[in-house]
Structure 1
Amino acid sequence: MSADDAPGPDHARTARPTGAAALPLLERVTRQALEEDYAHVAARRRAREAADPDRADGAGGAGDEAGRGLRRAAVVAAVFGLLVATAAVQTSRNAATDETSRTTLVGRVNEGRDRVTELQRRVAELRETTDDLSGDLEDVVAAEGAAVGEVEGLRLLTGYGATAGPGVRITVDDSRSGRAEGRVRTSDLRRLVTGLWEAGAEAIAVNGLRLTARTAIVTSGQAIAINTRSLTAPYVVEAIGDTRTLQVDLDRTAYGQAFFTVADLVGLQVEADNVARLQLPAPADPVLRYAEPSTPTTSPEASP
C-alpha cells in the first residue's frame, strides 16, 4: 500500500465506532439495565394482555405497574421505619432495664457484704464464747473427776459400795474340844476386826456381810449377830489391804495381840491366808445418816 493510501488523522476520526459501542462504559451499563427492565415490564404486560384482552393498554398497565412499585416501596419504607422505631424503643427500654438491674444488683451486693460482715462479727463473738465455755467445761470435768475420785474413796472407806482387791482372809472356828469356853465369842470378832482396821485394812466383811462405821457386832442369844443378822461358825473375816504388811501389822496392834492371845488360850482354830483378789459386797442397808448442827434457842428468861 502506498503512502497516499495510509490512513490520516481525518480517516482515523471517521473510523471510530458509532451507536451503542461508542457510548462510555458507565452510560452503556445504565442504559442496558434500563432497557432490560423495560423489556421485562413489556413482556409481563404482553403476557397479561394475552391472558385478558380487556385489560387496559400498555400505557395504563405501565402506570399501574409503576404505581404498585411505588406502593411497595412505600410499604417497605414504612415497615423499615417501624422496625427502626421498634428497635430504638426496645434499645431504650433495655438500657433502662439494664440500668435498673445494675442498680438492684449493686444494692444486693452491698446488702450481702453488710450481712457477711455482720455474720463474721457474730462468728468471732461465738468463737470467743466457745473458747470461754470450753475452758469452763475443762474446769467442770476436772472438778467432776476429783469429786468422783473422792466419792469412790469415801465409799471404799465407809463401806457404802462394793469393792475388790488383794487382801487377807482369816477363818475363825470354835475349839475342837467342844467346851463352852472354846467357842468364838462376840468380843473375839470385835478384837479381830478392830485390829484389822488399825493395821490398815480398807474394807472388811464377815461371812459376806460388809462392815461399816455403823455396823454393830453383838450377841443375839447364843449366836453372834451383825446388824441383827445371826452368824454361824466358822466365821470368815475378809479384809482388803496390802498383803505384804497387813498380817504383820495386825500382830503389832493391841487388839490383834489380844485376839491371838485369847485364841491360843481357849484353842480357837485360826487360819490366815493372803488372797490376790477379794470381792466384798456393798452393805445390805446402805442408808447414810448424818447430823446437822442445831440452831441454839434462847429462852425468854435468858434475854436481857
Structure 2
Amino acid sequence: MCAMPEQEPGAAPRARPDASMSLLTTVMSNTLDEGYAQAAARRRESGRSELPRSTRAKLWLACGLVLTGVVVTLGAAQAREAAPTVAKEREELLERVDDGTERLDALQARVDDLRADVAARQRNALSDEDAERAELVALLAGASPARGPGVELVIDDARDVGDAASGGPRDDGFAQTGRVRDRDLQRVVNGLWQAGAEAVAVNDQRLTALSAIRAAGDAVLVDNRPLVPPYTLLALGDPETLLDDFDATLAGHYLVTLQDDYDIRVERSTRDELRLPAAPSLTTRSARPLPEPADPEETPDSEEPEEVTAP
C-alpha cells in the first residue's frame, strides 16, 4: 500500500495572487527591454558617446539644429501674423450676426404692428358678435397674444453634462444623457396640453396645433427656430390645479424620471399673470368671402359663398 507523501511541518507557502499573470507582471515591472540595457552597458564599457565626434558629423548636427530653429521661428511668425487676421474676421462675423439680429428684431416688430392693425380693422369691419368670435378663434389658434394666470416650468441640462452616465434608454450615441432633448420637451408640452393648459410657449415661442419641436444635432428647434437652455415653458391655466393635473400625467412622471436618473434640473412655480406672444408663422390657408347682397332684403345666407383655398 502506497503511503501519502509527508508534508513539512508549518504553514504551506502561499502563492502570489498574480502567479497566473506572470507575463503581464513582467511587462509591468520591466518596462524597458533587456537588450536596450545591455547595449547601454556596452557603450559605457567601451567609452563610446552618443554625440558625434567628427567635425563633419558635428557640422551636420549644427545644420540640423539651425534648420529646425528656422522652421520653428517661421511657423511662430506666420501664426503671429495670422492671429490678427483671424481675430478681425471673427469680429466681422460677429458684427454681421448682430446686424442680422437687429434687422430680424425690427422686421418682427413690424410684423407685430401690422398684425395688430389687421386685428383692429377686423374688429371694426365685423359686428360685435363676430368680432368676439374672431378674437376667440385667434386666441385659441395662437394668432393673438394671450395673458392670464398659469404655471412656469424651467428645464435645464444637468450641471455636469460631460460626466453623465451612458447606456441608458435616452443615450442614442449623439449626445450626453444629461442634455434636454427635443422629445423631452415634446412630452412635457403634450402633458401640459393634457392637463388643461389653454396656451403654451417655449422660450417666448408660442405653440399652436401646427408647431413642431425637432432637433438638429444637440440643438432644439421650435418651429425651425433654435433655442438654447434653459427652456422656459409658460402655460396659461388654473395655477392651483394645472400643476397637480400635470403631475398625474405620464409626462409628469417622465419629468420626475429625468430629474432622478439624469439630473435634469427642473424649477416649477405658479404665476398670477403670464404674457404669451402671438405665434409668428401663422398663415391663412382657406377663406370664404361673403358677397354683398344685390337686394337689400336678400341675406348673405341665400347664396352659398365660394371657398378659396391657398396652395
TM-score by length of 1: 0.47
| Rg larger for | 1
Q: Per residue, is there more helix in 1 or in 2?
A: 1
